[in-house]
Protein backbone atom coordinates (compact mmCIF):
# COMPACT_ATOMS: atom_id res chain seq x y z
CA UNK A 1 0.00 0.00 0.00
CA UNK A 2 1.35 3.45 -0.86
CA UNK A 3 2.19 5.88 1.90
CA UNK A 4 0.32 9.01 0.88
CA UNK A 5 -0.82 10.31 4.20
CA UNK A 6 -3.79 7.99 4.51
CA UNK A 7 -4.66 6.67 7.91
CA UNK A 8 -3.15 3.42 9.04
CA UNK A 9 -5.06 0.42 7.65
CA UNK A 10 -7.33 -1.45 10.05
CA UNK A 11 -5.92 -4.85 9.11
CA UNK A 12 -2.25 -4.88 8.26
CA UNK A 13 -2.36 -8.65 7.59
CA UNK A 14 -4.39 -8.09 4.43
CA UNK A 15 -1.39 -6.38 2.86
CA UNK A 16 0.47 -9.70 3.27
CA UNK A 17 -2.03 -11.65 1.17
CA UNK A 18 -0.55 -13.29 -1.89
CA UNK A 19 -1.51 -15.93 -4.47
CA UNK A 20 -0.52 -19.56 -4.07
CA UNK A 21 0.58 -19.78 -7.70
CA UNK A 22 2.02 -17.46 -10.34
CA UNK A 23 -0.54 -14.79 -11.18
CA UNK A 24 0.11 -12.17 -13.81
CA UNK A 25 -1.83 -8.91 -13.58
CA UNK A 26 -2.79 -9.44 -17.21
CA UNK A 27 -5.06 -12.27 -16.02
CA UNK A 28 -7.30 -9.73 -14.33
CA UNK A 29 -10.84 -9.46 -15.67
CA UNK A 30 -11.07 -5.79 -14.68
CA UNK A 31 -9.80 -2.90 -16.83
CA UNK A 32 -6.16 -1.94 -16.26
CA UNK A 33 -7.08 1.40 -14.62
CA UNK A 34 -9.17 -0.38 -11.96
CA UNK A 35 -6.40 -2.91 -11.30
CA UNK A 36 -3.80 -0.15 -10.95
CA UNK A 37 -6.03 1.75 -8.52
CA UNK A 38 -6.54 -1.42 -6.48
CA UNK A 39 -2.78 -2.00 -6.34
CA UNK A 40 -2.29 1.55 -5.11
CA UNK A 41 -4.85 0.99 -2.34
CA UNK A 42 -4.04 -2.52 -1.09
CA UNK A 43 -0.80 -3.61 -2.77
CA UNK A 44 0.13 -5.97 -5.61
CA UNK A 45 0.08 -9.14 -3.50
CA UNK A 46 -3.53 -8.83 -2.33
CA UNK A 47 -4.68 -7.92 -5.86
CA UNK A 48 -2.99 -11.02 -7.28
CA UNK A 49 -4.60 -13.02 -4.48
CA UNK A 50 -8.01 -11.63 -5.46
CA UNK A 51 -7.44 -12.44 -9.16
CA UNK A 52 -6.52 -16.02 -8.30
CA UNK A 53 -9.47 -16.36 -5.91
CA UNK A 54 -11.86 -14.97 -8.50
CA UNK A 55 -11.02 -17.74 -10.97
CA UNK A 56 -11.79 -20.37 -8.32
CA UNK A 57 -15.03 -18.71 -7.20
CA UNK A 58 -16.37 -18.26 -10.75
CA UNK A 59 -15.78 -21.94 -11.51
CA UNK A 60 -17.72 -22.84 -8.37
CA UNK A 61 -20.58 -20.46 -9.22
CA UNK A 62 -20.95 -21.80 -12.78
CA UNK A 63 -20.67 -25.36 -11.50
CA UNK A 64 -23.49 -24.91 -9.00
CA UNK A 65 -25.63 -22.46 -11.00
CA UNK A 66 -25.01 -23.28 -14.70
CA UNK A 67 -27.61 -20.73 -15.83
CA UNK A 68 -25.16 -17.98 -14.87
CA UNK A 69 -22.66 -19.29 -17.45
CA UNK A 70 -23.77 -19.64 -21.04
CA UNK A 71 -20.50 -19.54 -22.97
CA UNK A 72 -16.98 -18.09 -22.71
CA UNK A 73 -18.07 -14.48 -23.13
CA UNK A 74 -20.85 -14.79 -20.53
CA UNK A 75 -18.40 -16.42 -18.10
CA UNK A 76 -15.94 -13.62 -18.77
CA UNK A 77 -18.61 -11.07 -17.88
CA UNK A 78 -19.35 -13.02 -14.69
CA UNK A 79 -15.62 -13.09 -13.94
CA UNK A 80 -15.43 -9.33 -14.40
CA UNK A 81 -18.34 -8.67 -12.04
CA UNK A 82 -17.19 -11.12 -9.37
CA UNK A 83 -13.64 -9.73 -9.45
CA UNK A 84 -15.10 -6.28 -8.78
CA UNK A 85 -16.98 -7.61 -5.73
CA UNK A 86 -13.82 -9.32 -4.42
CA UNK A 87 -11.74 -6.15 -4.74
CA UNK A 88 -14.48 -4.14 -3.03
CA UNK A 89 -14.49 -6.69 -0.22
CA UNK A 90 -10.73 -6.15 0.18
CA UNK A 91 -11.24 -2.38 0.42
CA UNK A 92 -14.03 -2.84 2.96
CA UNK A 93 -12.02 -5.10 5.25
CA UNK A 94 -8.86 -3.01 4.98
CA UNK A 95 -10.26 0.51 5.16
CA UNK A 96 -13.77 0.09 6.58
CA UNK A 97 -17.27 0.15 5.02
CA UNK A 98 -17.05 3.88 4.35
CA UNK A 99 -14.18 3.24 1.93
CA UNK A 100 -16.23 0.93 -0.29
CA UNK A 101 -16.81 2.36 -3.74
CA UNK A 102 -20.27 2.54 -5.34
CA UNK A 103 -21.40 -0.66 -7.05
CA UNK A 104 -19.07 -1.28 -9.98
CA UNK A 105 -20.49 -0.99 -13.51
CA UNK A 106 -19.25 -4.53 -14.22
CA UNK A 107 -21.65 -5.85 -11.55
CA UNK A 108 -24.60 -3.91 -12.98
CA UNK A 109 -23.67 -5.03 -16.49
CA UNK A 110 -23.92 -8.62 -15.32
CA UNK A 111 -27.36 -7.98 -13.81
CA UNK A 112 -28.63 -6.57 -17.12
CA UNK A 113 -27.25 -9.62 -18.88
CA UNK A 114 -29.14 -11.99 -16.57
CA UNK A 115 -32.40 -10.10 -17.09
CA UNK A 116 -32.05 -10.24 -20.88
CA UNK A 117 -31.28 -13.97 -20.72
CA UNK A 118 -34.38 -14.54 -18.56
CA UNK A 119 -32.29 -15.91 -15.68
CA UNK A 120 -34.65 -15.83 -12.65
CA UNK A 121 -33.72 -13.55 -9.76
CA UNK A 122 -33.54 -16.51 -7.39
CA UNK A 123 -30.82 -18.09 -9.57
CA UNK A 124 -28.86 -14.84 -9.49
CA UNK A 125 -29.12 -14.69 -5.70
CA UNK A 126 -28.13 -18.36 -5.48
CA UNK A 127 -24.97 -17.46 -7.38
CA UNK A 128 -24.34 -14.57 -4.99
CA UNK A 129 -24.61 -16.94 -2.02
CA UNK A 130 -22.25 -19.46 -3.62
CA UNK A 131 -19.74 -16.71 -4.35
CA UNK A 132 -20.07 -15.24 -0.88
CA UNK A 133 -19.48 -18.61 0.77
CA UNK A 134 -16.38 -19.34 -1.32
CA UNK A 135 -14.94 -15.84 -0.85
CA UNK A 136 -15.58 -15.80 2.90
CA UNK A 137 -13.97 -19.21 3.22
CA UNK A 138 -10.84 -17.90 1.47
CA UNK A 139 -10.66 -14.78 3.64
CA UNK A 140 -11.07 -16.78 6.84
CA UNK A 141 -8.44 -19.31 5.81
CA UNK A 142 -5.98 -16.50 5.02
CA UNK A 143 -6.79 -14.82 8.32
CA UNK A 144 -5.98 -17.93 10.36
CA UNK A 145 -2.67 -18.27 8.49
CA UNK A 146 -1.56 -14.62 8.82
CA UNK A 147 -2.99 -13.39 12.12
CA UNK A 148 -1.49 -13.98 15.58
CA UNK A 149 -3.34 -17.00 17.09
CA UNK A 150 -4.14 -14.98 20.22
CA UNK A 151 -6.41 -12.63 18.28
CA UNK A 152 -7.38 -14.93 15.40
CA UNK A 153 -10.76 -15.95 16.86
CA UNK A 154 -11.87 -12.34 17.35
CA UNK A 155 -10.58 -11.42 13.89
CA UNK A 156 -12.37 -14.31 12.20
CA UNK A 157 -15.61 -13.34 13.94
CA UNK A 158 -15.24 -9.71 12.85
CA UNK A 159 -14.45 -10.63 9.25
CA UNK A 160 -17.43 -12.97 9.04
CA UNK A 161 -19.72 -10.23 10.34
CA UNK A 162 -18.34 -7.53 8.03
CA UNK A 163 -18.42 -9.73 4.93
CA UNK A 164 -21.99 -10.76 5.69
CA UNK A 165 -22.98 -7.10 6.02
CA UNK A 166 -21.14 -6.26 2.80
CA UNK A 167 -22.82 -9.04 0.80
CA UNK A 168 -26.22 -8.24 2.32
CA UNK A 169 -25.93 -4.66 1.11
CA UNK A 170 -24.61 -5.82 -2.28
CA UNK A 171 -27.54 -8.23 -2.66
CA UNK A 172 -30.02 -5.43 -1.97
CA UNK A 173 -28.37 -3.30 -4.64
CA UNK A 174 -28.43 -6.18 -7.13
CA UNK A 175 -32.09 -6.93 -6.43
CA UNK A 176 -33.07 -3.32 -7.03
CA UNK A 177 -31.01 -3.20 -10.23
CA UNK A 178 -32.55 -6.47 -11.44
CA UNK A 179 -36.12 -5.32 -10.82
CA UNK A 180 -35.57 -1.94 -12.51
CA UNK A 181 -33.94 -3.58 -15.55
CA UNK A 182 -36.64 -6.25 -15.68
CA UNK A 183 -39.38 -3.64 -15.76
CA UNK A 184 -37.69 -1.79 -18.63
CA UNK A 185 -36.74 -4.94 -20.56
CA UNK A 186 -40.10 -6.67 -20.20
CA UNK A 187 -41.85 -3.89 -22.13
CA UNK A 188 -39.31 -3.82 -24.99
CA UNK A 189 -39.76 -5.27 -28.46
CA UNK A 190 -36.55 -7.28 -28.09
CA UNK A 191 -37.93 -8.99 -24.98
CA UNK A 192 -41.20 -9.80 -26.77
CA UNK A 193 -39.31 -11.40 -29.66
CA UNK A 194 -37.09 -13.38 -27.30
CA UNK A 195 -40.12 -14.60 -25.33
CA UNK A 196 -41.88 -15.77 -28.49
CA UNK A 197 -38.82 -17.68 -29.68
CA UNK A 198 -38.32 -19.34 -26.30
CA UNK A 199 -41.99 -20.36 -26.30
CA UNK A 200 -41.64 -21.82 -29.78
CA UNK A 201 -38.60 -23.81 -28.69
CA UNK A 202 -40.03 -25.07 -25.41
CA UNK A 203 -43.75 -25.56 -26.12
CA UNK A 204 -44.87 -24.63 -29.65
CA UNK A 205 -48.46 -25.70 -28.96
CA UNK A 206 -48.94 -22.57 -26.85
CA UNK A 207 -47.92 -20.21 -29.66
CA UNK A 208 -49.90 -19.36 -32.80
CA UNK A 209 -47.43 -19.68 -35.70
CA UNK A 210 -49.17 -17.04 -37.82
CA UNK A 211 -49.26 -14.44 -35.05
CA UNK A 212 -45.70 -15.26 -34.04
CA UNK A 213 -44.55 -14.84 -37.66
CA UNK A 214 -46.11 -11.39 -37.82
CA UNK A 215 -44.58 -10.27 -34.53
CA UNK A 216 -41.15 -11.63 -35.44
CA UNK A 217 -41.25 -10.45 -39.04
CA UNK A 218 -40.13 -13.93 -40.00
CA UNK A 219 -42.21 -16.61 -41.74
CA UNK A 220 -42.23 -19.69 -39.50
CA UNK A 221 -44.04 -21.81 -42.11
CA UNK A 222 -41.02 -21.93 -44.42
CA UNK A 223 -37.82 -24.06 -44.35
CA UNK A 224 -35.28 -22.99 -41.75
CA UNK A 225 -31.58 -23.43 -41.13
CA UNK A 226 -30.56 -22.56 -37.57
CA UNK A 227 -27.18 -21.34 -36.40
CA UNK A 228 -25.65 -20.56 -33.02
CA UNK A 229 -22.93 -17.91 -33.24
CA UNK A 230 -20.55 -17.20 -30.39
CA UNK A 231 -17.41 -15.29 -29.50
CA UNK A 232 -15.02 -15.08 -26.56
CA UNK A 233 -15.62 -11.34 -26.36
CA UNK A 234 -18.47 -10.17 -24.09
CA UNK A 235 -18.69 -6.88 -26.00
CA UNK A 236 -19.45 -8.02 -29.56
CA UNK A 237 -23.26 -8.16 -29.69
CA UNK A 238 -23.67 -6.14 -32.90
CA UNK A 239 -20.81 -8.07 -34.52
CA UNK A 240 -22.51 -11.38 -33.76
CA UNK A 241 -25.77 -10.25 -35.36
CA UNK A 242 -24.04 -8.96 -38.47
CA UNK A 243 -22.02 -12.18 -38.69
CA UNK A 244 -25.13 -14.36 -38.33
CA UNK A 245 -26.87 -12.48 -41.13
CA UNK A 246 -23.80 -12.75 -43.37
CA UNK A 247 -23.26 -16.48 -42.92
CA UNK A 248 -26.95 -17.32 -43.30
CA UNK A 249 -27.11 -15.30 -46.53
CA UNK A 250 -24.09 -17.25 -47.70
CA UNK A 251 -26.04 -20.42 -46.96
CA UNK A 252 -28.85 -19.23 -49.24
CA UNK A 253 -31.17 -17.61 -46.68
CA UNK A 254 -33.57 -14.99 -48.01
CA UNK A 255 -34.75 -13.70 -44.61
CA UNK A 256 -33.15 -14.03 -41.18
CA UNK A 257 -34.10 -13.88 -37.52
CA UNK A 258 -31.51 -13.20 -34.79
CA UNK A 259 -32.01 -13.41 -31.02
CA UNK A 260 -29.15 -12.44 -28.65
CA UNK A 261 -29.23 -14.88 -25.73
CA UNK A 262 -26.06 -14.11 -23.75
CA UNK A 263 -22.94 -12.03 -23.92
CA UNK A 264 -21.00 -13.33 -26.86
CA UNK A 265 -23.75 -15.77 -27.92
CA UNK A 266 -26.64 -15.50 -30.38
CA UNK A 267 -29.31 -17.73 -31.90
CA UNK A 268 -30.31 -17.16 -35.50
CA UNK A 269 -32.39 -18.73 -38.28
CA UNK A 270 -32.59 -18.22 -42.00
CA UNK A 271 -35.34 -19.22 -44.45
CA UNK A 272 -33.68 -21.41 -47.09
CA UNK A 273 -34.94 -23.15 -50.27
CA UNK A 274 -36.98 -26.25 -49.41
CA UNK A 275 -35.26 -28.43 -52.00
CA UNK A 276 -31.88 -28.18 -50.32
CA UNK A 277 -30.31 -25.90 -52.93
CA UNK A 278 -28.21 -22.97 -51.80
CA UNK A 279 -27.31 -19.55 -53.03
CA UNK A 280 -23.95 -18.53 -54.42
CA UNK A 281 -22.30 -18.78 -51.00
CA UNK A 282 -20.35 -21.79 -49.78
CA UNK A 283 -18.86 -23.23 -46.62
CA UNK A 284 -15.62 -21.53 -47.62
CA UNK A 285 -17.42 -18.17 -47.65
CA UNK A 286 -19.01 -18.97 -44.28
CA UNK A 287 -15.66 -19.91 -42.74
CA UNK A 288 -14.00 -16.79 -44.15
CA UNK A 289 -16.70 -14.54 -42.66
CA UNK A 290 -16.49 -16.20 -39.25
CA UNK A 291 -12.70 -16.00 -39.27
CA UNK A 292 -12.80 -12.34 -40.22
CA UNK A 293 -15.17 -11.53 -37.35
CA UNK A 294 -13.29 -13.79 -34.89
CA UNK A 295 -16.40 -15.81 -34.17
CA UNK A 296 -17.51 -19.44 -34.33
CA UNK A 297 -20.80 -20.93 -35.45
CA UNK A 298 -22.63 -24.25 -35.41
CA UNK A 299 -25.33 -24.98 -38.00
CA UNK A 300 -28.31 -27.32 -37.82
CA UNK A 301 -29.72 -29.10 -40.85
CA UNK A 302 -32.67 -27.45 -42.66
CA UNK A 303 -36.18 -28.26 -41.45
CA UNK A 304 -39.73 -27.28 -42.42
CA UNK A 305 -42.18 -25.24 -40.37
CA UNK A 306 -42.11 -24.77 -36.60
CA UNK A 307 -40.98 -28.37 -36.11
CA UNK A 308 -38.02 -27.77 -38.43
CA UNK A 309 -37.31 -24.43 -36.74
CA UNK A 310 -36.99 -26.25 -33.40
CA UNK A 311 -35.12 -29.32 -34.67
CA UNK A 312 -32.53 -27.32 -36.60
CA UNK A 313 -31.92 -25.19 -33.50
CA UNK A 314 -31.45 -28.26 -31.29
CA UNK A 315 -28.91 -29.59 -33.77
CA UNK A 316 -27.04 -26.28 -33.85
CA UNK A 317 -26.81 -26.29 -30.06
CA UNK A 318 -25.51 -29.86 -30.09
CA UNK A 319 -22.90 -28.79 -32.62
CA UNK A 320 -21.91 -25.91 -30.37
CA UNK A 321 -21.58 -28.29 -27.41
CA UNK A 322 -19.30 -30.63 -29.37
CA UNK A 323 -17.12 -27.70 -30.39
CA UNK A 324 -16.85 -26.49 -26.80
CA UNK A 325 -15.86 -29.99 -25.67
CA UNK A 326 -13.26 -30.13 -28.43
CA UNK A 327 -11.89 -26.79 -27.29
CA UNK A 328 -11.60 -28.04 -23.70
CA UNK A 329 -9.70 -31.03 -25.10
CA UNK A 330 -7.20 -28.68 -26.76
CA UNK A 331 -8.34 -29.41 -30.30
CA UNK A 332 -7.88 -26.78 -33.01
CA UNK A 333 -11.09 -24.67 -33.06
CA UNK A 334 -13.31 -24.88 -36.13
CA UNK A 335 -14.92 -21.64 -37.19
CA UNK A 336 -17.89 -23.44 -38.76
CA UNK A 337 -19.41 -26.69 -37.51
CA UNK A 338 -22.16 -28.39 -39.51
CA UNK A 339 -24.31 -30.77 -37.50
CA UNK A 340 -24.42 -33.22 -40.40
CA UNK A 341 -20.64 -33.63 -40.05
CA UNK A 342 -20.58 -34.24 -36.29
CA UNK A 343 -23.99 -35.84 -35.65
CA UNK A 344 -22.51 -39.19 -34.64
CA UNK A 345 -20.14 -37.64 -32.08
CA UNK A 346 -22.90 -35.33 -30.81
CA UNK A 347 -25.26 -38.25 -30.21
CA UNK A 348 -22.58 -40.45 -28.64
CA UNK A 349 -21.61 -37.58 -26.32
CA UNK A 350 -25.15 -36.89 -25.13
CA UNK A 351 -24.32 -38.82 -21.96
CA UNK A 352 -20.66 -38.01 -21.32
CA UNK A 353 -20.41 -40.27 -18.27
CA UNK A 354 -21.58 -43.28 -20.29
CA UNK A 355 -19.44 -42.26 -23.28
CA UNK A 356 -16.37 -42.00 -21.07
CA UNK A 357 -17.00 -45.39 -19.49
CA UNK A 358 -17.37 -46.89 -22.96
CA UNK A 359 -14.16 -45.29 -24.29
CA UNK A 360 -12.01 -46.30 -21.32
CA UNK A 361 -13.41 -49.84 -21.35
CA UNK A 362 -12.86 -50.32 -25.09
CA UNK A 363 -9.40 -48.74 -25.24
CA UNK A 364 -7.96 -50.04 -21.99
CA UNK A 365 -4.31 -48.99 -21.75
CA UNK A 366 -4.65 -47.09 -25.00
CA UNK A 367 -6.77 -44.52 -23.14
CA UNK A 368 -3.78 -43.36 -21.09
CA UNK A 369 -3.28 -39.59 -21.22
CA UNK A 370 0.26 -39.28 -22.55
CA UNK A 371 1.84 -38.38 -25.87
CA UNK A 372 2.84 -41.91 -26.94
CA UNK A 373 -0.66 -43.30 -26.37
CA UNK A 374 -2.24 -40.30 -28.08
CA UNK A 375 -0.08 -40.94 -31.16
CA UNK A 376 -1.11 -44.60 -31.18
CA UNK A 377 -4.82 -43.71 -30.81
CA UNK A 378 -4.71 -41.15 -33.62
CA UNK A 379 -2.87 -43.47 -35.96
CA UNK A 380 -5.16 -46.42 -35.25
CA UNK A 381 -8.26 -44.23 -35.67
CA UNK A 382 -7.13 -43.10 -39.14
CA UNK A 383 -5.96 -46.61 -40.01
CA UNK A 384 -9.42 -48.10 -39.40
CA UNK A 385 -11.09 -45.07 -40.99
CA UNK A 386 -8.99 -45.49 -44.14
CA UNK A 387 -9.79 -49.20 -44.41
CA UNK A 388 -6.23 -50.06 -43.32
CA UNK A 389 -4.57 -48.10 -46.09
CA UNK A 390 -1.04 -47.46 -44.82
CA UNK A 391 -0.17 -44.99 -47.57
CA UNK A 392 -3.35 -42.96 -47.04
CA UNK A 393 -2.78 -42.77 -43.27
CA UNK A 394 0.87 -41.82 -43.71
CA UNK A 395 -0.19 -38.96 -46.00
CA UNK A 396 -2.87 -37.78 -43.57
CA UNK A 397 -0.51 -37.76 -40.57
CA UNK A 398 2.61 -36.64 -42.46
CA UNK A 399 4.67 -39.60 -41.23
CA UNK A 400 6.46 -42.48 -42.90
CA UNK A 401 4.55 -45.60 -43.89
CA UNK A 402 6.79 -47.65 -41.61
CA UNK A 403 5.84 -45.41 -38.69
CA UNK A 404 2.15 -46.10 -39.32
CA UNK A 405 2.80 -49.85 -39.47
CA UNK A 406 4.78 -49.79 -36.23
CA UNK A 407 2.16 -47.72 -34.38
CA UNK A 408 -0.70 -49.97 -35.49
CA UNK A 409 1.18 -53.06 -34.33
CA UNK A 410 2.06 -51.41 -31.02
CA UNK A 411 -1.57 -50.26 -30.52
CA UNK A 412 -2.81 -53.82 -30.97
CA UNK A 413 -0.29 -54.99 -28.37
CA UNK A 414 -1.61 -52.43 -25.89
CA UNK A 415 -5.22 -53.40 -26.66
CA UNK A 416 -4.43 -57.09 -26.31
CA UNK A 417 -6.46 -58.16 -29.35
CA UNK A 418 -6.55 -57.74 -33.13
CA UNK A 419 -8.80 -55.29 -34.96
CA UNK A 420 -11.40 -57.68 -36.33
CA UNK A 421 -13.28 -58.76 -33.22
CA UNK A 422 -14.71 -55.40 -32.11
CA UNK A 423 -13.92 -53.17 -35.07
CA UNK A 424 -17.03 -50.96 -34.90
CA UNK A 425 -16.86 -50.46 -31.12
CA UNK A 426 -13.11 -49.79 -31.28
CA UNK A 427 -13.46 -47.25 -34.11
CA UNK A 428 -16.29 -45.50 -32.24
CA UNK A 429 -14.24 -45.26 -29.04
CA UNK A 430 -11.24 -43.95 -30.97
CA UNK A 431 -13.41 -41.34 -32.70
CA UNK A 432 -14.73 -40.08 -29.35
CA UNK A 433 -11.22 -39.91 -27.90
CA UNK A 434 -9.91 -38.15 -31.01
CA UNK A 435 -12.62 -35.47 -30.90
CA UNK A 436 -13.28 -35.00 -27.18
CA UNK A 437 -10.04 -35.91 -25.43
CA UNK A 438 -10.18 -35.58 -21.64
CA UNK A 439 -13.97 -35.29 -21.68
CA UNK A 440 -14.06 -39.05 -22.30
CA UNK A 441 -10.56 -40.16 -21.29
CA UNK A 442 -10.99 -38.91 -17.71
CA UNK A 443 -13.86 -39.76 -15.35
CA UNK A 444 -16.12 -36.73 -14.97
CA UNK A 445 -15.35 -36.33 -11.25
CA UNK A 446 -11.60 -35.98 -11.88
CA UNK A 447 -10.18 -32.44 -11.89
CA UNK A 448 -9.08 -31.52 -15.43
- 202 domain-assigned: no
Over the chain (448 residues), the average pLDDT of each successive run of 10 is 47 88 87 89 91 93 89 86 90 73 73 87 92 93 89 89 89 89 83 90 87 92 95 75 91 91 90 66 85 93 94 96 89 92 93 93 92 92 85 90 92 86 89 92 67
Task: Catalogue the E-assigned strands of 300-416.
Answer: 303-304, 336-338
Counting other chains too, the contacts that 277-283 makes at CB distance below 8 Å and 24 or more residues apart are: 277/252, 278/251, 278/252, 279/249, 279/250, 279/251, 279/252, 279/253, 281/249, 281/250, 281/251, 281/252, 282/250, 283/336, 283/338
**Domain termination site, one of 286, 312, 346:** 346
Specify burial of residue 251 (Cβ count, 10 A radius: 0-12, 13-18, 19+). buried
In a domain, 158, yes or no: yes
Considering the domain boundaries, does residue 130 fall inside one? yes
Q: According to the model, what pLDDT value does residue 205 have?
A: 83
For residue 206, is it within any domain? no
By C-alpha distance, which of 350, 380, 346, 387 is closest to 362? 380
> Whose CA is closest to 246, among 320, 319, 218, 238?
238
Q: How far apart are CA 113 and CA 261, in angstroms?
A: 9
CATH value at residue 74: 1.10.490
Would you state the pLDDT for residue 354? 94
- Does residue 341 sit within a domain? yes
Helices (H) and strands (E) in the chain, counts: 18, 6
Residue 424 lies in a domain: yes
Give the count of domains, the chain: 3
Please indicate, yes or no, if residue 191 is contained in any of the structural domains. Answer: no
How do the residues of the chain divide into helix, strand and coil, expressed in percent and rounded to 5? Answer: 65, 5, 25
Strands 256-262 and 303-304: unpaired
The answer to whether position 207 is within a domain reads no
pLDDT at 329: 84
Residue where a domain stops, chosen among 302, 319, 346: 346
Q: Which domain holds residue 337?
A: 218-346
Amino acid sequence: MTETGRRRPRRAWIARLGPRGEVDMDRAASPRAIVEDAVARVGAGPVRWAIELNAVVVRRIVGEVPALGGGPAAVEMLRRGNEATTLRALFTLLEGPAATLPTDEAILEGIREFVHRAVPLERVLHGVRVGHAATTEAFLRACTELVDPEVAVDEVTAISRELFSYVDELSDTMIRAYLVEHEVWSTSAAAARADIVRSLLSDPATTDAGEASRTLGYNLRRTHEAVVVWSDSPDGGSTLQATANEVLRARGATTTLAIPVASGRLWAWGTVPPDGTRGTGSWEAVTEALSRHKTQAAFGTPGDGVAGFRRSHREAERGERVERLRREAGRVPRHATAYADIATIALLATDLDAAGDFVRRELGGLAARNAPMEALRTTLYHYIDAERGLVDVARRLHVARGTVSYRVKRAQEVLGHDLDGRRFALHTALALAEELGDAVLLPRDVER
